[in-house]
C-alpha cells in the first residue's frame, strides 16, 4: 500500500498570499496518477487536480499541481477567501487507492 504524507498539517496564511502544499508518497506513483481534493466543513470533497497537473472542470487557474514519482505539490497562487479549507492528495495508480491525511489552510 502506498502511504501519502502531506505537509504541513496546517498552513496559516492571509488572503492574497501564495500557498504551497506538499504530498510525498512512500513509493513511486504509477503514471503520476495523483489527485488533489478540496473539502470545506460539512461538505463533500471536490476534485481540483488529476493526473498530478491537470485542472478539473471549472477549477480556476490559481490552482496548479506539479510533481512526479514520489513528490507532488499543490500551489494556490493567490488565496481567495473561499480557498480556506482542507486539501487532500490521493493516489489512484495502485490498489488500494489511498489518501493523504490532509492539510488545513486557515486564515492567519
Binding site for another protein (CB under 8 A): 33, 35, 37, 43-47, 50-51, 56-57, 88, 90, 92, 95-102
List, as one string, the DSSP characters of 69-93: TTEEEEEESS--GGG-SEEEEEE-S
Going by C-alpha positions, the residue among 35, 38, 8, 2 that lies closest to residue 21 is: 8
Q: How far is the CB of 104 from another protein (least distance, A)?
A: 11
88 neighbors 74 (Cβ within 8 angstroms):
no
User: Three-state SS for 44?
Assistant: coil
Q: How far is the CB of 99 from another protein (least distance, A)?
A: 4
Q: How far is the CB of 62 from another protein (least distance, A)?
A: 20
Q: How far is the CB of 96 from another protein (least distance, A)?
A: 5
Closer to another protein by Cβ: residue 3 or 15 = 3
Closer to another protein by Cβ: residue 50 or 72 = 50
107 neighbors 45 (Cβ within 8 angstroms):
no
Closer to another protein by Cβ: residue 15 or 45 = 45
Closer to another protein by Cβ: residue 45 or 67 = 45
Q: What are phi and psi of 59, to 5 degrees?
A: -85, 125
Amino acid at each position: 500500500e502506498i502511504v501519502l504524507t502531506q505537509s504541513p498539517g496546517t498552513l496559516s496564511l492571509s488572503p492574497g498570499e501564495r500557498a504551497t502544499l506538499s504530498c510525498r508518497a512512500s513509493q513511486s506513483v504509477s503514471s503520476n496518477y495523483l489527485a488533489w481534493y478540496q473539502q470545506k466543513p460539512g461538505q463533500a470533497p471536490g476534485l481540483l487536480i488529476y493526473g498530478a497537473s491537470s485542472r478539473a472542470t471549472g477549477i480556476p487557474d490559481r490552482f496548479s499541481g506539479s510533481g512526479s514519482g514520489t513528490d507532488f505539490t499543490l500551489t494556490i497562487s493567490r488565496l481567495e477567501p473561499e480557498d480556506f479549507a482542507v486539501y487532500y492528495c490521493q493516489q489512484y495508480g495502485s490498489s488500494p487507492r489511498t489518501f493523504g491525511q490532509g492539510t488545513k489552510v486557515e486564515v492567519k
